[in-house]
Structure 1
């Protein structure tokens, strides 16, 4: 993760990294070290890079760390899909969020978990990303 974080900061041509508040740094590093999944490591590295970037550090919130810890890579993929395809927070049926190789039951579990973590809302069988979910994706995007 450290290598990837440094690479992100190099790509931004960042002259100097900002200090990270302890209430962000400690839980972020602990969570990242405890999560070996490559898809999640990329999110942790980007979140850390954003916390170190003076122009983006205010986007990184403490509650994003605890939420990200509770997400599965499939949840993160679906959340990103919602933010990219439906950034205006349109209500969409679940089939609009399907991707190749994803089982319907896995999608259902992920949508439920995203709802429990305040990242997605459900109404009449349709879903939309929440403002919290949009900001989480933004904080985890390079």
Structure 2
């Protein structure tokens, strides 16, 4: 239980400090987003996923971005594995469209990338299949809410 509070502290303090460093006054979270977001984020241990929770929380507290944070994004991130987070970031940043291209760019083994693409399709983050896929509109909105860069 103490571990959850440590993570909760971490995922709430860092986004708030980032906003304040940008000169943005963090807004209070709406309970419909804040409660499930904080509950889910407090249970995460994996560094790659903690960073996504921090980014979503930062967006939810940013008055200029809060409307882009959908309740469904919380449920989607809860179903991400660390490999899914990495593959999602590569797909969204590099606009990858084939498994062959993606496997060469990530440190994940080919089977792990394959499973992640299947999961991201199931979660509606990408559309297509493992041989030919693109970021879905839902995935593009998740990317925008998380503030992920494009290359």
Provide the secondary structure at the position in 2 that maps to 1:134: helix
CA apart distance, 1:81:
1.3
Tell me whether 1:64 sits opposite 2:73 in the alignment. yes
2:3 alignment partner in structure 1: none
Provide the secondary structure at the position in 2 that maps to 1:108: helix
How big is the alpha-carbon RMSD for the aligned residues of Structure 1 and Structure 2?
1.7
CA apart distance, 1:125:
2.3
2:119 alignment partner in structure 1: 113
Whole-angstrom CA distance in 2 between matches of 1:109 and 1:49 = 29
| Pairs within 5 Å for 1:18-97 | 18-86=27-95, 92-97=97-102
CA contact (8 A) 2:98 2:130 kept: no
2:143 alignment partner in structure 1: 137
2:17 alignment partner in structure 1: 7
* Count of aligned residue pairs for this structure pair: 137
Whole-angstrom CA distance in 2 between matches of 1:112 and 1:80 = 15
Measured against aligned partners, the alpha-carbon deviations of 1:89-109 in whole angstroms (never above 9, x if no partner) come to: x7x221111234321100110
TM-score (normalizing by structure 1): 0.88
Whole-angstrom CA distance in 1 between matches of 2:58 and 2:139 = 19
CA contact (8 A) 2:20 2:26 kept: no
**Unmatched segments (≥5 aa) in structure 1:** none
TM-score (normalizing by structure 2): 0.83
CA apart distance, 1:45:
1.0
**Unmatched segments (≥5 aa) in structure 2:** 1-10
Moved over 4 A (4+): none
